[in-house]
Structure 1
Amino acid sequence: MNDPVLALSGITKTYNKGLPNAVEVLRGADLTIAHGEVVALVAPSGAGKSTLLHIAGLLDTPDAGSVRICGREMVGLSDRKRTAARREDIGFIYQFHHLLPEFTALENIVLPQLAHGCNQREAVTRAADLLARVGVGGRADHRPGALSGGEQQRVAFCRALANEPALLLADEPTGNLDPGTADQVFGTLMELVRDTGMSALIATHNLELAARMDRVLHMDNGTLTEA
């Protein structure tokens, strides 16, 4: 438990490398997140925060640098091992919920647990418990199209936490909601994260929401600085 949940060191990333239209997005970014720590990532559009989240979440690879999750180096691992680490250790939340429209709210949370090897009875019980905790237990049998935007995002939170990841990565998780709903939904997310003791890196444009986290990091010119 002494190792940080996430440690990025010297991360660089350039798109269209070697071409006239090359874009240097990350220029030696460093980041450490301890167990149970919730960190805000604030950056203007196009500054590279999504790229950083994708690298931290093993969805993309850096040109150089180290990515360690729970003390284990991820750079250089095979695709199979990276996929396994992503499935076991990381939860994702996006601005848009990306729920499967043909399945109910409950089923959307059960499916990732089954893929993780959980038996169906335990998966259903955990899904129902999570939905109840975020205040949408009565909507468990509704498909996403029958839910409000706030309800859909609460279900997405539950799905991300279903396998009890060590690290939660969220990219503008309330950016698609009106201010009032965003505040309520973000409060729900923070309660879930605090109750489970997991670590989180949450990108947001909302400075009021960022101030409710343990630390605020700003991304500028491809590097990170603490507020």
Structure 2
Amino acid sequence: MNDVSLRLTGITKSYNAGTAAAVDVLRGVDVSLTKGEVVALVAPSGAGKSTLLHIAGLLDTPDAGTVEIGGTDVTGAPDRRRTLVRRDEVGFVYQFHHLLPEFSAQENIVLPQLAAGVARRDADARAKELLGIVGIAARADHRPAALSGGEQQRVAFCRALANRPSVLLADEPTGNLDPATSDTVFDALMTLVRETGLSALIATHNMELAAKMDRQLRLDQGVLSPA
């Protein structure tokens, strides 16, 4: 049985900044996440953490190296296959919630499930279950504008996990919140992750939050190492 949800091997990525020499953003990055593991990705601004997350989530392709999700190499998979893997196996959370303003909290969580072919009744039940886990079930019928920043981000977490992915990728998920709200929202995220048993790679500048995770990795000058 393969307990590795995500494995990146020898990932390199460079960008050519106009006429300047290519910038090596990632240089031979290796990382594996086992099922149920929560890993902090700590990096200074501009170090390439977003690039690494995008490659891990099949939103970008590496110059070299392989990306395996659930034990399957999907590095060079056709676009249709990559889209399906992203939909079914990967959840994304960003610093800003990006909720659809015209829909309620529950509807924002239902929609990605409907896109994946889930029946409406089951999608509603899943949305209510997730909102209950993060403690805002009573806000299910409210639109994003009627929710606080912390509530909006908790809905975004629920949306990311709606289709039961095996991997969660989060890029500064509490970076837009005040410290007290950040702690509350992060605790909700950890509860979701533990309840669902998926693997998570969470980029953060907050070392206190990073210390709450199973282990910490530092990305600096394109090289990934234990923090």
- TM (norm. structure 1) is 0.97
Q: Is the 8 A contact 1:91 1:168 kept in 2?
A: yes
Q: Is the 8 A contact 1:14 1:25 kept in 2?
A: yes
157-166 or 126-135, which deviates more: 126-135
Which secondary structure state, in structure 1, belongs to the residue aligned with residue 27 of structure 2? strand
Aligned length: 227
Q: Does 1:161 align with 2:161?
A: yes
Q: Name the residue aligned to 1:89.
A: 89
CA contact (8 A) 2:133 2:191 kept: no
Q: Once the 2 structures are TM-superposed, how far is the Cα of residue 221 of structure 1 from its aligned partner?
A: 1.1
Residues in 2 aligned to 1:223 and 1:116: alpha-carbon distance in whole angstroms: 36
One-letter amino acid of the structure 1 residue matched with residue 100 of structure 2: L
What are the ranges of 5 or more consecutive residues in structure 2 without an aligned counterpart?
Answer: none
Whether 1:109 aligns to 2:109 is yes
Shift of 1:136: 1.1
Say if 1:99 and 1:144, in contact at 8 Å, map to a contact too.
Answer: yes
- The answer as to whether partners of 1:30 and 1:223 remain within 8 angstroms in 2 is no
In the alignment, which residue of structure 2 is the partner of 1:31? 31
Unaligned 5+ runs, structure 1: none
Match of 1:63 in 2: 63
2:43 matched residue in structure 1: 43
- Partners of 1:116 and 1:198 lie apart in 2 by 19
Deviations 1:43-98 (A, max 9, x none): 00000000000000000000000111111111111000000011010000000000
The percent of aligned pairs where both chains have the same amino acid is 70
The answer for the alignment partner of 1:77 in structure 2 is: 77
2:188 corresponding residue in structure 1: 188
Q: Matched residues in 1 for 2:12 and 2:87: separation?
A: 24
By how many angstroms is 1:19 displaced?
A: 4.2
User: 2:39 and 2:176 mapped to 1: Cα distance?
Assistant: 20
Q: Which residue does 1:122 correspond to in 2?
A: 122
TM-score by length of 2: 0.97
Partner Cα distance (2:150, 2:58) in 1:
28
> Which amino acid in the other structure matches residue 219 of structure 1?
L
- Asked whether 1:213 is paired with 2:183, we answer no
1:2 aligns with 2:2: yes
- 2:152 and 2:65 map into 1 onto residues whose CA distance is 36
Show CA shifts across 1:86-111 (max 9, x none).
10100000000000011110100000
Relative to structure 1, is the Cα distance of residues 18 and 31 closer, same or farther in structure 2, using a 3 angstrom cutoff? Answer: farther
Farther-moved stretch of structure 1 (77-86 vs 8-17): 8-17
